[in-house]
Amino acid sequence: MSASLVLLLRSWVLSGRNLAARFGFLLALVTGFSAQSVSAAEPTNSVLHFDGNGSYLELPPHCLDGYKAITVEAWVRPERLGFFTRFFEFGTQKDRLVACWNGEFNIHASSVGMTWDGYANGFISRLENNGWMHLAVVSDGKSFSGYINGAQVINENTPKPFHPSGDGSKYYFGKDTFGGEEEDFVGQMDEIRIWDKALSSDDIKIRLSQRAPWGSSNLVVLVNSNTNRVKAINGYEKTALFRGNLNWKVQERSLTEVTRTLRHQNLEIIFPPEIHSLTNINLRSIKLDQGVAYGFGWNLKNQITTNANGNLVYKEYLQWFPKQFATELYLFVWGRSNEVWTAVHPINLSTSNPSVQSVYLKRSDTNAPRNLLKTPLT
């Protein structure tokens, strides 16, 4: 018996694992599965813990090749949301599917030298504790959509086709695949599932509180405290790999978190009459609480109309969880000649508001953003 095997057996005997986990360990030795798959036999109230320092979950390369559409979903509890922190990244920079945070929930796909983005302009930001939330991403090679707690917040059609799950070389949860400056995920994940079809909005809502068993129709990846299985299109099964200090943490999702829904507000941002075109015009927002910034986001999309007075109007649909810090939205616009237009809009986070609220941008001094903030952006 090799020395490495002796050390494994010794660790197993001393670990105090339950009977199911020890049986899983022996099964791994017999079948050749990764020893990390033993972790999948932990109690049902355990969730995956990512330490933000190189821990991530990896699926076998090319295990999703051939699937014409996929739906990726998981329960996620971030402890901190950093710079482009990954929920998951499949593929490499030139051919990939990514779900991450950058002041808001973001999905982007890359292929043939192009990248297409979708943003959810809610109030998920790096210093806010949002508790457990359910994230889902649907990708079919022609479009992608994103859901938070069953509500669709992103829906993008792409002008060119892309691979639904990237180029197949890498599949990571909690980390980028190319070693960039993006921050690793810190927090917990549970019920990581991938389906080999584009689930409908109703399908996603129905599955929110369910634990789908392995063998369910169209389920090709399942990682939770009971199961660690990955099935390729040819039917061959493998296991996901635990990298770094990825481990199980005893924690349960409360019914309150599972059933909470997003609140919402419609805004129309009215540009001043001197702005006749949005060419070379940039719009951004900062979330504020008494002058402290909690997030940064927004890109202008196609929701541009002209009102009866001839002003350009940008419409935005805000969505957020009930427990948020930000109480103001600071909007700023700048053009090619360094002109600046700003507005501060109070947000009532205690309830949804079905009415459309108007925000008027006005010309400001170039130091306006600096003067407004009491602390540096975080």
Res 378 pLDDT > 50:
no
In a domain, 57, yes or no: yes
pLDDT of residue 370: 67
Res 83 pLDDT > 80:
no
Q: How many domains does the chain have?
A: 3
Summarised one tens digit per residue, pLDDT across range 24-65 is 333 333 333 333 333 333 445 799 999 999 999 999 999 999
Mean pLDDT, the chain, whole residue set:
80
- Last residue within a domain, chosen from 241, 258, 275: 258
In a domain, 144, yes or no: yes
Mean pLDDT of 109-128: 73
Q: Are residues 268 and 214 in the same domain?
A: no
State how far the Cα of 164 lies from the Cα of 27, in Å rounded to an integer. Answer: 34
Res 342 pLDDT > 80:
yes
State how far the Cα of 70 lies from the Cα of 57, in Å rounded to an integer. Answer: 18
In a domain, 285, yes or no: yes
In a domain, 224, yes or no: yes
For residue 65, the enclosing domain spans 41-258
Q: Are residues 87 and 60 in the same domain?
A: yes
Mean pLDDT of 134-158: 93
Q: Are residues 234 and 364 in the same domain?
A: no
In a domain, 87, yes or no: yes
Summarised one tens digit per residue, pLDDT across range 267-281 is 899 999 988 888 878
pLDDT of residue 13: 32
Question: 304 or 308, which is more confident?
Answer: 308
Q: Are residues 99 and 197 in the same domain?
A: yes
Q: Which residue, 190, 206, 220, 202, is CA-closest to 87?
A: 190
State how far the Cα of 330 lies from the Cα of 369, in Å rounded to an integer. Answer: 9
SS3 51: strand
What is the largest distance, in Å, between two alpha-carbon atoms of the chain? 84
**What tokens does 50 get?**
């990512």
Q: Are residues 213 and 279 in the same domain?
A: no
Q: Are residues 176 and 280 in the same domain?
A: no
Q: Are residues 242 and 299 in the same domain?
A: no
Q: Are residues 205 and 289 in the same domain?
A: no
Q: Do 44 and 150 meet the contact criterion of CB atoms below 8 Å apart?
A: no
Q: Are residues 134 and 20 in the same domain?
A: no
In a domain, 377, yes or no: no
- Here the contacts of 203-212 (C-beta below 8 Å, separation 24 or greater) are 203/71, 204/71, 204/73, 204/136, 204/147, 204/150, 205/150, 207/73, 208/134, 208/149, 208/150, 208/258, 209/258, 209/259
State how far the Cα of 110 lies from the Cα of 118, in Å rounded to an integer. Answer: 12
